[in-house]
Structure 1
Amino acid sequence: MAAELRAAGLIIFRRFSGHIEYLLMQTSYGEHHWTPPKGHVDPGESDRETALRETQEEAGLTENNFKLMESFQKILNYKVKGQPKTVIYWLAELIDRDSQVKMSDEHQDYKWLSLDEACVLAKYQDLQTALKDAHSYINSQL
Structure 2
Amino acid sequence: MTDTAIYAAGGVIWRLVDGKLKILVIHRTAYVDITLPKGKVDPGETLAETAVREIYEETGIRVSLGVNVGVSRYRMPNKREKIVHYWAAEATDAAIRASAFVPNKEVAAIEWMGIKKARKHLSYPVDVEILENFAKLVDDGVLRTFPIIALRHAKALSREEWKGTETARPLSPRGKREAEALVGQLRAFGPVQIISSPAARCVKTVTPLSKTIGRRIELTDLVSQEAWEEGKSDERTIVGRLVRGRRAAVVCSHGPVLPGILTEIALATGTLRGSYLGSASSLETSAFSVVHLSATNPGSGIVAIETHEPKR
Asked if these proteins are the same fold (TM beyond 0.5), I'd say yes
Residue 85 (structure 1) aligned to one of 82, 87, 105: 82
How does 1:55-134 map onto structure 2 within 5 Å?
Answer: 55-63=55-63, 67-69=64-66, 71-81=67-77, 82-96=79-93, 99-100=96-97, 101=99, 102-103=101-102, 104-134=104-134
Q: After the TM superposition, which of the residue ranges 130-139 and 79-88 deviates more from structure 2? A: 130-139
Q: Deviations over 1:25-76 (max 9, x none)?
A: 011112x11112110001110000001111111111113xxx421x333100
Alpha carbons 2:69, 2:130 under 8 Å: kept:
no
Q: What one-letter code is carried by the residue in structure 2 that aligns with 1:80?
A: M
RMSD: 1.8
Partners of 2:95 and 2:69 lie apart in 1 by 26
Report the secondary structure of 1:57's partner residue. Answer: helix
How does 1:12-23 map onto structure 2 within 5 Å?
Answer: 12-23=13-24
Partners of 1:126 and 1:34 lie apart in 2 by 12
Q: What one-letter code is carried by the residue in structure 1 that aligns with 2:59?
A: A
Q: After the TM superposition, which of the residue ranges 42-51 and 120-129 deviates more from structure 2? A: 120-129
Identify unmatched segments of 5+ residues in structure 2.
144-312
Q: 2:224 is matched with which residue?
A: none
Q: 1:54 is matched with which residue?
A: 54
Q: After the TM superposition, which of the residue ranges 16-25 and 96-105 deviates more from structure 2? A: 96-105
Q: 2:26 is matched with which residue?
A: 25
Identify unmatched segments of 5+ residues in structure 1.
none
More strand by share: 1
Q: How many residues are aligned here?
A: 136
Report the secondary structure of 1:99's partner residue. Answer: helix
Query: Structure 1 residues 42 and 136 mapped into 2: Cα distance closer, same or farther (>3 Å)?
Result: same
Q: Deviations over 1:63-101 (max 9, x none)?
A: 3xxx421x3331000111122110111000112267145
Counting aligned pairs with the same residue, the percent is 29
**Which structure has the greater CA radius of gyration?**
2
Report the secondary structure of 2:30's partner residue. Answer: coil
Q: 2:271 is matched with which residue?
A: none
Partners of 1:139 and 1:133 lie apart in 2 by 10
Report the secondary structure of 1:90's partner residue. Answer: strand
- Tell me if 1:36 matches 2:33: no
Alpha carbons 1:26, 1:107 under 8 Å: kept:
yes
Partners of 1:59 and 1:123 lie apart in 2 by 18
Alpha carbons 2:35, 2:123 under 8 Å: kept:
no
Task: Kindly indicate whether structure 1 or structure 2 has the higher relative contact order, using CA contacts under 8 Å at least 6 residues apart.
Answer: 1
More helix by share: 2
Partners of 1:97 and 1:118 lie apart in 2 by 24
Alpha carbons 1:72, 1:137 under 8 Å: kept:
no
Q: What one-letter code is carried by the residue in structure 2 that aligns with 1:68?
A: L
Partners of 1:27 and 1:131 lie apart in 2 by 18
For normalisation by structure 1, the TM-score amounts to 0.86
For normalisation by structure 2, the TM-score amounts to 0.41
